[in-house]
Structure 1
Amino acid sequence: MLQQVALAVGLIVLGTHVCSSTFVDIDKNMPPFTVCVEFAVFQFNEQQEDEFAYKFLRVRRSQRQKLTWIYLMDVEMGRTICKKHDEDIDNCPLQEGEGEKMVRCTFIVDAKPWNFQYTILKSNCTKN
């Protein structure tokens, strides 16, 4: 009997852990998600050696890990004519011709909006 109880408790704990690690689709306009996108794009720009800023173009995938504040986003960004520390990069035109560059990135961001803390857990970017 004790073994059966231990097994049942183990399965419940394991099941909760497995379920909490799966991502589910969410509305890409949900405020916590949009803040995470802005944070990820800002961090991307900060880490680039390129003097020009990349701006957010579109969300290809928006997901949240069940029972957490961890978000997965697949976004497209384009290289602008603005420097990365200019204001209003969102309204800056994209570069054309030789300077034109597009990237697609997948970010996983851990959000703690009540503390204004955001952490990129994983990022992967490829040039389009």
Structure 2
Amino acid sequence: MQGCEDKPARLQTPTHTDAESMLWKVLLFVGLVVLGAHLCSNKFVDIDKTREFFALSLEYVVFWFNEGQKDEFAYKFLRVRRSQRELFNWTYLIDVEMGRTVCKKHDEDIDNCPLQQGTGEKKVRCTFIVFSLAWMTKFNILNSTCLQT
């Protein structure tokens, strides 16, 4: 019998030209670059201001602000205007209003001190960018801007 020998079947493999191969590599590379840029962006997103690590970072920036002031009176935070966190990072943007109290900087329980009235009354609005490893009590102020209101 001719033609009935057992021969292994040959698989047909698709042939790609060098240009097609290069096109797929370029598309894959562009896709990875776009995805990487999106994942590594420095975009801040709104977060709940009661989140534990944000609250600890807020306490730290108020302390840091008071330590840097020549004023003997302490400031306390009055209102958080904006609470944000950088995507995929522990960097917070804290926009806060603070008021000057009747307590000295190193007094206990500044949060319960009344605000100064009359000529001693001062309020500031500050924006802080702080890198926080709050669970290790490590904070680093990256930027701060304050304006008297």
Same fold (TM over 0.5): yes
Q: Report how many residues are paired.
A: 126
Instruction: Answer with 1 or 2: which has the greater Rg.
Output: 2
Equivalent AA in structure 2 for residue 40 of structure 1:
V
Q: Is residue 127 of structure 2 the alignment partner of residue 127 of structure 1?
A: no
- Tell me the residue number matched to 2:135: 114
Say if 2:46 is the partner of 1:25. Answer: yes
CA-based RMSD of the aligned residues comes to 1.2
Identity %: 56
Higher strand share: 1
Tell me whether 1:7 sits opposite 2:43 in the alignment. Answer: no
Question: Counterparts of 1:1-128 in structure 2 under 5 Å?
Answer: 1=22, 2-18=25-41, 21-128=42-149
- What amino acid maps onto 2:108 in structure 1? E
Q: Which runs of 5+ in 2 are unaligned?
A: 1-21
TM-score with structure 1 setting the length? 0.92
Q: What amino acid is aligned across from residue 142 of structure 2 in structure 1?
A: L
In 2, the alpha carbon distance for the partners of 1:53 and 1:114 equals 26
- C-alpha separation in 1, matches of 2:130 and 2:51: 15
Q: Which runs of 5+ in 1 are unaligned?
A: none
1:63 CA displacement: 0.9
Q: Quick one: higher RCO (CA 8 Å, sep 6+), 1 or 2?
A: 1
Native 8 Å contact 2:40 2:88 kept in 1: no
- 2:102–2:114: 8 Å Cα contact kept in structure 1? yes
